Amino acid sequence: MGKIQGSCLCGKLRFSSNADPAMTVVCHCKDCQKQTGSAYSIVTSVPLNSLKISGIPKSYTTHGQSGRVVERKFCGDCGSPIASIAEFAPDLFIIKAGVLDDPNWLTPEFECYTDNRLPCTPATDLPQFSGMPRID
C-alpha cells in the first residue's frame, strides 16, 4: 500500500506511490475548470518514476494558460480526471486531489491563476499568484 493511492470513479484506473508528495496547490485556471467541471482543482504531485498505475488512462493534450503543454490524463470509461503531466515539470505526476482515496491530509502551498477565480470561491490566506509562480 503506497503513501498515496487513488482511483477514478469506476475504479478501472488505480494508482499508488510511496514517494512523499510535493507541491500541493489550488489551481483556478480555465482548463482545470473545463476539465473538472468545477470551480478549481486542488492538485498534489509525486515523481513519475515512483508511480504504480493499473489501467491505461486516456490523454488529452492542451496548451495551458502558461502556453506550455499539459497532458491531462483521465479515465476513458467514467471520465474522471486523474492527473496531468506538464511540460514545466515533466518528472511529476500531478494528481487531482479528489481522486485520492484519502485527500484529507492535503495542505496547499499557494493558489495560482487567481485572475480566473470564480467570485463564489473567495481567496484563502494562502499566497495568491495570477500565474504559476515556479515556472515564470
As measured in angstroms, the least distance from the Cβ of 65 to Zn ion is 7
C-beta of 18 vs 79, nearer to Zn ion: 79
C-beta of 78 vs 123, nearer to Zn ion: 78
CA distance 115 to 118: 9
C-beta of 47 vs 131, nearer to Zn ion: 131
As measured in angstroms, the least distance from the Cβ of 119 to Zn ion is 18
As measured in angstroms, the least distance from the Cβ of 20 to Zn ion is 22
CA distance 28 to 113: 5
The grid coordinates of residue 75 equal 479515465
Residue-wise over 107-128: b if at least 16 C-beta within 10 A, else e? ebebbbbbebbeeeeeeeeeeb
As measured in angstroms, the least distance from the Cβ of 113 to Zn ion is 6
CA distance 64 to 107: 24
Q: Which residues bind Zn ion (CB under 5 A)?
A: 8, 10, 12, 27, 29, 32, 75, 77-78
C-beta of 29 vs 95, nearer to Zn ion: 29
